[in-house]
């Protein structure tokens, strides 16, 4: 690692102020950032640890019934909540128990790894990503591999999830990293079904709109018959071709529907 | 350099660290606790698992400065007060749950965290929980048995 | 009733206490006062000419002690190779220079170019980034079959080409084998890849070099399976340090699996630099560094043909293998595809004619050397796969085809130069069928079908040659070392023993099992015996631990030394009890005189040896300390049968191991608990090779699987509980313990078992899949079910793929 200063503010205001410096970067749980720093692939002058900022931690339901998850909430804490079981199940399979005790949802959505799990939940749920500067609809927030709407120094303070009538996340693990080779989150709301796919695309998380249309009129595996996800733009790597990933998208969507129904 | 103070295995300690100093580096270096090991640099092998404020974390993926004021437990703190092996440690010896011993500290710390949350885990639950702990020697068979035994579940002693 | 001490008992491992409490002492736990740290600047390209190295800016960086380049090592030797192969034309192999730091060219990603020694590791890394390299990139030599074609880019400019050797075995049988295959009633052919692996002991390598100005003595602390071998190779061949001025210490070592046998450049560097810098120098490998600097394993591309007569008797086997050596010859690399592979091609079967051809090839990849099993897994895999394929082609039961061809009479001289002393292959197969509950398979398959899964059953037999090895034989075969083992047994005055062994324990539990042997011979408790290993300063010259040799060879040395102790102790006892030493018996720690009630305790005799007041001083020296060197007169031949059941998810191609059973014949067993643990670990590595692990290069020589993010290590939830049995015991006939060795069996026998089971599952489901190259990842199994080409990512092009590049292209469709 290159040398840097580590600051540990205890209030959001102090964190925002600390991030105003040049080459300052927010540190969530560090489960992705620290390995990156070890490889000397990042060179911040200052890291601002959000671990001591209690006001961005915790889970509650707001007046609109949404599940409000503080950006500093760990995967382990999200896995333990029971208001949104599909989200809990997703969080409970990220990394491993030790990673889940440190890693945070804010850090994950801000990083937008194309193989991260949360972006699928956010997109399929139609979540709102709240920062110290504003709010973003998930549809606008995730802008491609490792790219989001966040500006320099902007902190994810909360993610608000509308809770679907039924939902399920299917993760097919890449055998080495255990990140999703493909992950599909299906969420059924009163006004329709949303299907979000992670792990598969060069462009990061995306919605499979054909499946959404089909499932919105008939929420069953049968509705997927005749559909196929396009392999165009999907990732080909050591662990699977674009065709294989396209195939998995359909298989996992079907399984998610079965599990959710 | 800044000073970080924490309690490690029940003892108040301080160490001089840089911002970039990892918790595992502070433990193995200035604090002289070499039982916590480093087996990878991508946060996957789990040889460095310790408990911070009662929760299992990877000491290679947390900065030492972030442990300021924390209660840290390492493998050196897992024996009984009289120095004899603790229940989990004893089960690992009884069931041959270790060979070269390098992953063992992390395995024991993960096992302790599991049993705190889930006092009677099934075989499948144990295997799933150990997703972040890699062992190259044992094939996990005897680690699973050791953890079951440590939880008071009936397991035949190795090679009986 | 199980025994509670001595041979056959399973006492708890005494070394566990320190490992379980954090008190183990691994090499990285050793820090020497005043030590500096080295960071190696390694090549990030596979093949390039070094046109310039500018260290001027880096030299002035904070904390820098000194920066070394290849030029600093011109006056010393290169990293030596310990085995010379003579090819089928009588020519010796091509043997390139292997400098400590790259000189002239870099030849693989990870090849060290500069070494920066600084006060701290971070300073060394900072300075390394300030070094300016001018590398003129050359085409990367990756595909072995392309590499040996005329006009191919050469890895080593001063060699005639990339072919290290073209080995034929047994060359005199070549024509007869060709003839037998031509006239056979049936020939089954299989092309396959034995996938490249990375051993990945959980402890990365570490070296700490130290030089004492006052005495001129060097000490190297290193993560080694054989400290004496390192002392000899590094002292005599690289640095020119006489062995009496060099101490090599391998303390607690966190697993080896072969990859810590070899002498590595980093060890020589730290030892050399300690004197140059007048400071101890420490290197600790990161895991990322380990991926590109630890010797890799396997990486064979093979075509095997099995000929059968009309009654399904095997009549001939012919193989052609391309074996990847990587960029340089690692310590024992040339022996792996030849003498550790060709000699096993008879397997458990009465095949009268066998011919093995191996072409060893240099490529721009990390050197390849022995990894758990070393040559024997490659032999077993191809043989057991082709037999399975033959059974399916002929419509006969795979178990029955094997049984029909089993060797049943011993000793048995194979047509590939070895003589199996003993074995009972039907017995282990019978046991396997029982413990694997073969009879219950159909019901389980039906239950799987009901859940939408495809269940398959795979079986195999295996034999391995262990207890390496008779020195005069291996000398004829090209070994540049002897392969005996040593032991010194020192009895102290009060009766306790210290056993100093040349074997090295890095997970095998020698500190527990070796005392069991000595305790039994004398009749005293295990805890009166202490094992010392891993330090050339206090152990006799030994060859170390690998090839399942520690008990068979090292244990035999301990037996021989203890026999000398007992013989001398009996003479002392005879003197004291005024009897003939011929009449003295030693049992339960007591000396008695036959036919009398006279007795003397073990401790009385050991005390007399050191306080020789009443002692035959005219006939014998005082003291009780003996050394033995044991050189075996044959290999040992563990054997057995393995079975597994898999489920394949037809929608995703994901394979899960549902049941796994192993019936091994290891001869006599000293500590059953430890033996079972060794088998478990071997199975996990074998399943890892079959389903998960894949060291892959792209066509530019970049290592694609360069961390645990892409190299899939077996985890707890990848494996089931194993059913293992070692009750079939045909004791080895030529070593004093009757033991054969158990460390590698699981890694040898498991891969074909798993692949046979997956092919069985797919064929039962009507898929015409006769082979899938390992690892059988979900993507590959799914592709095979679609009838598609195997997917990308093999270190070498997948067998049967038409072109050369698509086998491993990052961009290919599969």
Please write the tens of the pLDDT for every residue from A157-180: 999 999 999 999 999 999 999 999
**What's the whole-number mean pLDDT along residues B149-153?**
95
Residue owning tokens 């630099």: C273
Q: Which of C199, C383, C198, C398 is nearest to C302 (CA)?
A: C383
Residue C810 has pLDDT above 80, yes or no: no
Q: Is 0.85 exceeded by the ipTM?
A: yes
Task: Give yes or no for a contact between C627 and C618, defined as CB atoms under 8 angstroms apart.
Answer: no
Split at pLDDT 50, 70, 90, the class of B69 is: very high
Percent pLDDT > 70 in chain C is 96
C20 touches chain B (CB under 8 A): yes
Positive/negative CA dihedral, C215, C221, C222, C227 = positive
Q: Check whether residue C358 and residue C421 sit in a common domain.
A: yes
**What's the whole-number mean pLDDT along residues B104-115?**
98
Give the count of beta carbons closer than 10 Å to the beta carbon of residue C368. Answer: 29
Q: Check whether residue C502 and residue C453 sit in a common domain.
A: no
DSSP β-ladder status, B2-8 and B71-73: parallel
With respect to residue A38, please indicate whether it lies within any of the assigned structural domains. yes
Residue C4 has pLDDT above 80, yes or no: no
How many angstroms away from the CA of A223 is the closest CA of chain C? 18
Angle ∠(C333,C195,B103) on CA atoms, nearest 5: 80
B133 touches chain C (CB under 8 A): yes
Contact (CB<8Å) A35/B61: yes
How many angstroms away from the CA of A236 is the closest CA of chain C? 6
How many angstroms away from the CA of C309 is the closest CA of chain A? 42
How many angstroms away from the CA of A136 is the closest CA of chain B? 30
> What DSSP string runs through C305-345?
EEEE-TT--EEEEEEEEEEEEESS--TTGGGTTTTTTGGGT
Percent pLDDT > 70 in chain A is 100
With respect to residue A94, please indicate whether it lies within any of the assigned structural domains. no
Q: Last residue of some domain: C630, C659, C692?
A: C630
Please write the tens of the pLDDT for every residue from A132-147: 999 999 999 999 989 9
How many CA within 13 A on the CB side of residue C654? 15
Which of A4, A98, A108, A175 should one mutate to test binding to chain B, selecting the residue with the greatest count of B CBs within 10 A?
A: A98
Residue owning tokens 């989990």: B88
**What's the whole-number mean pLDDT along residues C615-625?**
97
With respect to residue C63, please indicate whether it lies within any of the assigned structural domains. yes
DSSP β-ladder status, C281-284 and C36-42: parallel
With respect to residue A156, please indicate whether it lies within any of the assigned structural domains. no
With respect to residue C490, please indicate whether it lies within any of the assigned structural domains. yes
Residue C808 has pLDDT above 70, yes or no: no
Helix (H, G, I), strand (E, B), or coil: what is residue C499? strand
pTM of the model: 0.96
CATH superfamily entry for domain B2-77 = Beta-grasp domain (3.10.20.30)
Q: Check whether residue C732 and residue C585 sit in a common domain.
A: no
Q: How far apart are CA A173 and CA B130, in angstroms?
A: 16
What is the structure's pLDDT at C806? 28
Q: Which domain holds residue C122?
A: 31-138+202-255+260-293
Residue C334 has pLDDT above 70, yes or no: yes
Give the N- to C-terminal CA distance of chain C in Å, as an integer.
56
What is the structure's pLDDT at B156? 65
With respect to residue A58, please indicate whether it lies within any of the assigned structural domains. no
Task: Give yes or no for a contact between C332 and C111, defined as CB atoms under 8 angstroms apart.
Answer: no
Split at pLDDT 50, 70, 90, the class of C705 is: very high
Q: Check whether residue C697 and residue C623 sit in a common domain.
A: no
Chain A contact set for C812 (CB, 8 A): 236, 241
Q: Which of C287, C350, C355, C296 is nearest to C328 (CA)?
A: C296
Angle ∠(B88,B94,B98) on CA atoms, nearest 5: 75
Q: Last residue of some domain: A30, A48, A66?
A: A48
A232 touches chain C (CB under 8 A): no
Q: How far apart are CA B144 and CA B95, in angstroms?
A: 9
What is the structure's pLDDT at B157? 60
With respect to residue C166, please indicate whether it lies within any of the assigned structural domains. no
What is the structure's pLDDT at C127? 98
Contact (CB<8Å) C710/A177: yes
Task: Give yes or no for a contact between A105 and B61, defined as CB atoms under 8 angstroms apart.
Answer: no
How many angstroms away from the CA of A114 is the closest CA of chain C? 14
Q: How far are the Cα atoms of B39, B160, C290, C678, C681 from residue B140, in angstroms, in the given order? A: 17, 18, 23, 11, 8
With respect to residue A39, please indicate whether it lies within any of the assigned structural domains. yes
Q: Check whether residue C492 and residue C625 sit in a common domain.
A: yes
How many angstroms away from the CA of A39 is the closest CA of chain C? 9
Q: How far are the Cα atoms of C237, C796, C802, C808, C811 from residue C805, in angstroms, in the given order? A: 39, 9, 9, 6, 10
Q: How far apart are CA C705 and CA A237, in angstroms?
A: 11
Split at pLDDT 50, 70, 90, the class of C567 is: very high
Partner residue facing A98 (CB), from B20, B46, B63 = B46
What is the structure's pLDDT at C814? 28
Q: How far apart are CA B151 and CA B154, in angstroms?
A: 9
With respect to residue C797, please indicate whether it lies within any of the assigned structural domains. no
What is the structure's pLDDT at C789? 47
Contact (CB<8Å) A97/B113: yes
Domain count of chain C? 3
Q: Where are the domains of chain B?
A: 2-77, 87-150
- Structure token pair of residue C639: 């054997």
Task: Give yes or no for a contact between C195 and C298, defined as CB atoms under 8 angstroms apart.
Answer: yes
Q: How far apart are CA C370 and CA C257, in angstroms?
A: 8
Q: How far apart are CA A81 and CA B7, in angstroms?
A: 30
Q: Last residue of some domain: C594, C614, C630?
A: C630
Which residues of chain A fall short of a pLDDT of 50?
none
Residue C802 has pLDDT above 70, yes or no: no
Residue A49's closest chain B neighbor by CA? B66
How many CA within 13 A on the CB side of residue C455? 18
Please write the tens of the pLDDT for every residue from C115-166: 999 999 999 999 999 999 999 999 999 999 999 999 999 999 999 999 999 9
Contact (CB<8Å) C508/B47: no
Q: Which of C538, C443, C442, C433 is nearest to C487 (CA)?
A: C538
With respect to residue A244, please indicate whether it lies within any of the assigned structural domains. yes
Q: How far apart are CA A109 and CA A93, in angstroms?
A: 16
Question: Number of residue pairs across B and C with CB atoms under 8 Å?
Answer: 191
Partner residue facing C21 (CB), from B79, B126, B159 = B79
Residue B47's closest chain A neighbor by CA? A98
Residue C795 has pLDDT above 90, yes or no: no
Residue C712's closest chain A neighbor by CA? A176
With respect to residue A103, please indicate whether it lies within any of the assigned structural domains. no
Q: How far apart are CA A230 and CA A234, in angstroms?
A: 8
Q: Last residue of some domain: C573, C604, C630?
A: C630
A172 touches chain C (CB under 8 A): yes
Q: Last residue of some domain: A15, A31, A48?
A: A48
Chain A contact set for B44 (CB, 8 A): 177
Domain count of chain A? 2
Please write the tens of the pLDDT for every residue from C226-268: 999 999 999 999 999 999 999 999 999 999 999 999 999 999 9
Q: How far apart are CA B73 and CA B82, in angstroms?
A: 17
Residue B28's closest chain C neighbor by CA? C29
SS3 per residue for chain A: CCCCEEECCCCHHHHHHHCCCCCEEEECCCCCHHHHHHCCCCCCCEEEECCCCHHHCCEEECCCCCEEEECCCEHHHHHHCCCCHHHHHHHCCCCCHHHHCCCEHHHHHHHCCCCCCHHHHHHHHCCEEEECCCEEEHHHHEEECCEECCCCCCCEEEEEECCCCEEEEEEEECCCCCCEEEEEEEEEECCEEEEEEECCECCCCEECHHHHHHHHHCCCHHHHCCCCCCCCCECCECCECHHHHHHHHHHHHHHHHHHHC
Mean pLDDT, chain C, integer: 95
**What's the whole-number mean pLDDT along residues B80-106?**
97
Q: Which domain holds residue A38?
A: 1-48
Task: Give yes or no for a contact between C127 and C118, defined as CB atoms under 8 angstroms apart.
Answer: yes
Omega before residue C469 within 30° of 0, cis: yes
Contact (CB<8Å) C692/A177: no
Residue A45's closest chain B neighbor by CA? B19
Contact (CB<8Å) A251/C696: no
Task: Give yes or no for a contact between C178 and C95, defined as CB atoms under 8 angstroms apart.
Answer: no
Q: How far apart are CA C289 and CA C110, in angstroms?
A: 7
Contact (CB<8Å) B110/A30: no
SS3 per residue for C67-135: EEEHHHHCCCCCCCCCECCECCCCCECCCCCCCCCCCCEECCCCCEEEEEEECCHHHHHHHHHCCEEEE
How many CA within 13 A on the CB side of residue A2? 13
Give burial (CB, 10 Å; 0-12/13-18/19+) of A99: buried
Query: 3-state DSSP helix/strand/coil percent for chain B, to nearest 5?
Result: 35, 15, 45
Residue B158 has pLDDT above 90, yes or no: no
Chain C contact set for A248 (CB, 8 A): 652
Contact (CB<8Å) C677/B105: no
Q: Check whether residue C269 and residue C311 sit in a common domain.
A: no
Q: Check whether residue C443 and residue C584 sit in a common domain.
A: no
What is the structure's pLDDT at A261? 83
Chains that touch C (3 or more CB pairs under 8 A): A, B
As a CATH number, domain B87-150 is 1.10.150.120
Positive/negative CA dihedral, C667, C671, C674, C676 = positive
With respect to residue A140, please indicate whether it lies within any of the assigned structural domains. no
Residue C790 has pLDDT above 50, yes or no: no
Mean pLDDT, chain B, integer: 96
């Amino acid at each position: 690692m290159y040398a840097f200063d580590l600051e540990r503010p205890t209030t959001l205001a102090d964190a925002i102020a600390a991030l105003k410096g040049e080459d300052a970067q927010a540190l969530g749980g560090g489960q992705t950032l620290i390995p990156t720093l070890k490889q000397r692939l990042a060179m911040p002058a200052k890291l601002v640890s959000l671990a001591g900022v209690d006001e961005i931690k915790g889970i509650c339901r707001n007046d609109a019934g949404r599940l409000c998850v503080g950006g500093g909430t760990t995967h382990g804490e999200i896995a333990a909540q029971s208001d949104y079981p599909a989200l809990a199940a997703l969080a409970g399979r990220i990394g491993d128990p030790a990673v889940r005790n440190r890693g945070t949802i804010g850090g994950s959505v801000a990083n937008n790894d194309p193989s991260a799990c949360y972006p699928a939940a956010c997109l399929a749920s139609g979540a709102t990503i709240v920062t110290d500067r504003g709010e973003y609809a998930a549809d606008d927030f995730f802008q491609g591999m490792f790219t989001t709407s966040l500006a320099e120094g902007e902190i994810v303070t909360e993610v608000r999830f509308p809770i679907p009538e039924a939902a399920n996340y299917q993760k097919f693990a890449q055998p080495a990293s255990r990140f999703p080779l493909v992950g599909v989150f299906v969420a059924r709301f009163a006004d329709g079904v949303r299907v979000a796919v992670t792990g598969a695309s060069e462009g990061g998380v995306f919605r499979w709109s054909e499946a959404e249309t089909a499932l919105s009129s008939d929420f069953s595996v049968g509705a997927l018959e005749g559909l196929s996800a396009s392999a165009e733009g999907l990732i080909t790597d050591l662990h699977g071709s674009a065709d294989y990933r396209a195939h998995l998208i359909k298989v996992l969507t079907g399984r998610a529907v079965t599990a959710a129904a | 350099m800044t000073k970080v103070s924490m309690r490690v295995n029940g003892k108040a300690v301080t160490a001089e660290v840089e911002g970039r100093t990892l918790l595992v580096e502070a433990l193995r270096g200035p604090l002289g606790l070499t039982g916590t090991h480093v087996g990878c640099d991508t946060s996957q092998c789990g040889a460095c698992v310790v408990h911070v404020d009662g929760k299992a974390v990877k000491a290679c993926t947390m900065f030492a400065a972030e442990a300021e004021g924390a209660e840290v437990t390492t493998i050196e703190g897992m024996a009984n007060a009289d120095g004899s092996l603790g229940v989990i440690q004893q089960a690992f010896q009884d069931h041959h749950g270790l060979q070269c011993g390098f992953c063992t500290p992390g395995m024991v710390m993960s096992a302790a965290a599991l049993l705190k949350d889930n006092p009677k885990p099934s075989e499948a639950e144990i295997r799933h929980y150990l997703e972040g702990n890699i062992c190259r020697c044992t094939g996990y068979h005897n680690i699973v048995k050791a953890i079951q035994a440590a939880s008071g579940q009936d397991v035949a002693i190795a090679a009986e | 009733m199980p025994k509670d001490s001595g041979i056959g008992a399973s006492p708890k491992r005494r070394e566990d206490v320190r490992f379980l409490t954090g008190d183990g002492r691994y090499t990285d736990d050793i820090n020497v006062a005043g030590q500096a740290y080295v960071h190696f600047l390694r090549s990030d390209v596979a093949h390039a000419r070094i046109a310039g190295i500018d260290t001027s800016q880096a030299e002035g960086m904070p904390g820098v002690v000194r920066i070394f380049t290849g030029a600093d090592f011109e006056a010393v030797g290169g990293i030596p190779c310990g085995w010379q192969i003579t090819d089928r034309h009588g020519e010796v192999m091509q043997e390139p220079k292997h400098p400590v730091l790259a000189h002239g060219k870099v030849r693989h990603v990870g090849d060290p170019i500069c070494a920066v020694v600084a006060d701290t590791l971070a300073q060394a890394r900072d300075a390394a980034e300030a070094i300016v390299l001018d590398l003129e990139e050359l085409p990367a030599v990756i595909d072995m079959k392309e590499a040996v074609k005329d006009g191919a880019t050469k890895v080593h400019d001063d060699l005639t080409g990339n072919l290290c050797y073209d080995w034929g075995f047994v060359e005199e049988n070549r024509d007869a084998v060709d003839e037998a295959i031509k006239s056979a009633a049936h020939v089954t052919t299989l092309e396959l890849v034995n996938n490249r692996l990375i051993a990945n002991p959980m402890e990365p390598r570490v070296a700490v070099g130290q030089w004492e100005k006052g005495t001129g003595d060097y000490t190297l602390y290193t993560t080694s399976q054989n400290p004496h071998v390192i002392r000899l190779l590094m002292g005599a061949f690289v640095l020119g340090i006489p062995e009496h001025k060099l101490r090599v210490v391998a303390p607690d070592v966190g697993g080896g699996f072969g990859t810590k046998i070899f002498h590595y450049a980093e060890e020589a560097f730290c030892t050399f630099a300690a004197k140059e810098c007048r400071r101890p120098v420490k290197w600790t490998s990161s895991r990322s560094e380990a991926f590109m600097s630890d010797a890799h394993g396997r990486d064979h591309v093979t075509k095997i043909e099995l000929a059968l007569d009309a009654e399904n008797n095997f009549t001939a086997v012919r193989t052609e293998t391309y074996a990847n050596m990587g960029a340089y010859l690692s310590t024992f690399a040339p022996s792996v595809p030849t003498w550790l592979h060709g000699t096993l091609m008879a397997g458990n079967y009465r095949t009268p004619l066998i011919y093995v051809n191996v072409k060893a090839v240099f490529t721009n990849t990390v050197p390849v050397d022995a990894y758990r099993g070393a040559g024997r897994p490659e032999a077993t895999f191809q043989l057991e796969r082709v037999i399975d394929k033959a059974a399916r082609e002929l419509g006969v039961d795979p178990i029955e085809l094997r049984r029909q061809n089993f060797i049943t009479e011993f000793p048995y001289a194979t047509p590939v130069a070895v003589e199996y002393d003993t074995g009972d292959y039907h017995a282990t197969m019978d046991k396997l069928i029982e413990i694997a509950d073969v009879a219950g398979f159909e019901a389980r398959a039906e239950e799987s079908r009901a859940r939408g899964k495809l269940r398959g059953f795979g079986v195999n037999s295996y034999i391995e040659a262990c207890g390496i090895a008779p020195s005069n034989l291996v000398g004829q075969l090209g070994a540049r070392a002897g392969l005996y083992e040593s032991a010194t047994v020192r009895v102290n005055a009060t009766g306790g023993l210290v056993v100093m062994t040349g074997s090295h324990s890095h997970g095998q539990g020698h500190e527990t099992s070796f005392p069991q042997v000595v305790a039994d011979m004398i009749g005293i408790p295990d805890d009166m015996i202490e094992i010392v290993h891993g330090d050339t300063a206090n152990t006799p010259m030994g060859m170390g631990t690998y090839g399942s040799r520690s008990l068979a060879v090292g244990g035999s040395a301990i037996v021989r030394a203890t026999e000398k102790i007992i013989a001398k102790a009996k003479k002392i006892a005879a003197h004291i009890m005024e009897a003939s030493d011929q009449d003295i018996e030693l049992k339960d720690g007591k000396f008695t005189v036959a036919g009398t009630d006279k007795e003397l305790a073990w401790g009385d005799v050991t005390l007399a040896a050191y306080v020789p007041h009443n002692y035959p001083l005219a006939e014998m020296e005082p003291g009780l300390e003996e050394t033995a060197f044991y050189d075996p007169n044959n290999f040992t031949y563990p054997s057995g049968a393995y079975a597994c059941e898999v489920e394949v998810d037809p929608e995703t191609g994901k394979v899960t191991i549902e049941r796994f059973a192993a019936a091994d014949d290891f001869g006599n067993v000293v500590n059953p608990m430890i033996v079972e643990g060794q088998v478990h670990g071997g199975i996990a590595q074998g399943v890892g090779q079959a389903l998960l692990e894949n060291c892959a290069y792209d066509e530019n020589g970049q290592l694609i699987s360069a961390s645990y993010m892409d190299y899939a290590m077996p985890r707890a939830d990848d494996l089931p509980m194993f059913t293992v049995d070692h009750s079939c015991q045909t004791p080895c006939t030529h070593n004093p313990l009757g033991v054969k060795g158990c460390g590698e069996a699981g890694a040898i026998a498991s891969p074909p078992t798993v692949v046979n089971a997956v092919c069985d599952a797919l064929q039962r489901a009507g898929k015409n899949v006769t082979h899938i190259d390992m690892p059988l990842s979900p993507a590959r199994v799914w592709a095979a079910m679609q009838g598609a080409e195997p997917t990308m990512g093999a270190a070498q092009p997948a067998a049967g793929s038409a072109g050369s590049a698509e086998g491993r292209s990052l961009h290919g469709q599969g």
